[in-house]
């Protein structure tokens, strides 16, 4: 099943709730400091491309190449849907496939990888390790919705996939970051934490209209996952 959809009225209701959300843990506060220039000067020169290990290839990918590929995915999906919800659903399904394969790759490559058994550990793994693997940086933050033990959301300011997107007026509130929501959905479900994930945008209170919108990846955890969490907590 794909990510769940939230209509306009539901989005407004959720936005009022997440505005008062309690932080679970800020990924941005955990970012490692950059090495000094002196350390960079003393660093050993990088290996020639033919001398690099095939087991751990360089992870950098050109942003322009990535966005070109994503643009083709959007154009491909656009011609095969009849509504905005279907459009976002299709992008989410594509993202889910990426999320499953990304988790498989990271777990196979990293010898110190340990499977998370609890929900909060899995969520923090997504916004730190997986986000850095996919985008080179950690997600801005992850928070819990007030008065709801099974609802969380990840905040991201100006997602890469929305950087050069201009949504036509007849497409309403289309959010191409549904692709990222699908990635989160794929990672969590493949890790055994059943949930639905959807994306929507909101303007941060007190900011200017010209400031970038914040994208929220809303995570609704399945009942069976919450039952398991309670059993683990009582163990």
Write the secondary structure of the chain as one string of H (helix), E (strand) and C (coil): CCCCCCCHHHHHHHHHHHCCCEEEECCHHHCCCCCCHHHHHHCCCCCCHHHCCCCCCCCCCCHHHHHHHHHHHHHHHHCCCCCHHHHHHHHHHHHHHHHHHHHHHHHHHCCCCCCCCCHHHHHHHHHHHHHHHHHCCCCCEEEECCCCCCEEEEEEECCHHHCCCCCCHHHCCCCCCHHHHHHHHHHHHHCCCCEEEEEEEECCCCCCCCCCCEEEEEEEECHHHHHHHHHHHHC
Angle at 17 between CA 16 and CA 21, to 5 degrees: 125
Nearest Cα residue to 177 out of 200, 196, 157: 200
Residue pair 24/152 in contact (Cβ under 8 Å)? The answer is yes
CA distance 53 to 170: 49
Handedness of CA 102, 107, 112, 118 (dihedral sign): positive
- Domain positions in the chain are 64-233
Query: What local confidence, expressed as pLDDT, does residue 200 receive?
Result: 86
pLDDT at 6: 44
pLDDT value for 95: 96
Per-residue model confidence (pLDDT) at position 87:
94
| Whole-number pLDDT of residue 128 | 92
What stretches in the chain show pLDDT beneath 50? 1-6, 8-9, 12, 28-36, 38-39
pLDDT confidence of residue 9: 47
Residue 18: per-residue pLDDT: 61
pLDDT score recorded for residue 34: 46
pTM for the whole structure: 0.75
> Does the domain spanning 64-233 belong to CATH 3.40.50.920?
no
pLDDT of residue 5: 44
């Amino acid at each position: 099943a794909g990510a769940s959809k939230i209509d306009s009225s539901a989005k407004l209701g959720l936005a009022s709730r997440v505005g008062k959300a309690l932080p679970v843990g800020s990924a941005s506060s955990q970012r490692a400091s950059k090495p000094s220039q002196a350390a960079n000067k003393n660093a050993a020169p990088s290996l020639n491309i033919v001398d690099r290990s095939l087991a751990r290839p360089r992870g950098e990918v050109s942003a322009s190449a990535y966005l070109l590929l994503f643009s083709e995915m959007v154009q491909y999906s656009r011609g095969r849907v009849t509504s905005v919800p279907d459009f976002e659903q299709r992008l989410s399904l594509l993202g889910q496939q990426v999320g499953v394969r990304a988790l498989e790759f990271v777990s196979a490559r990293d010898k110190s990888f340990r499977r998370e058994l609890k929900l909060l550990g899995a969520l923090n793994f997504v916004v730190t390790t997986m986000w850095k693997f996919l985008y080179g940086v950690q997600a801005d933050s992850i928070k819990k919705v007030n008065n709801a033990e099974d609802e969380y959301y990840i905040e991201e300011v100006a997602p890469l996939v929305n950087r050069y997107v201009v949504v036509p007026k007849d497409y309403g509130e289309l959010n191409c970051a549904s692709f990222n929501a699908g990635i989160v959905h794929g990672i969590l479900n493949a890790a055994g934490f059943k949930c639905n994930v959807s994306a929507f945008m909101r303007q941060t209170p007190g900011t200017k209209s010209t400031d970038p919108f914040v994208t929220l990846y809303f995570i609704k955890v399945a009942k069976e996952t919450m039952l398991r969490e309670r059993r683990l907590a009582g163990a």
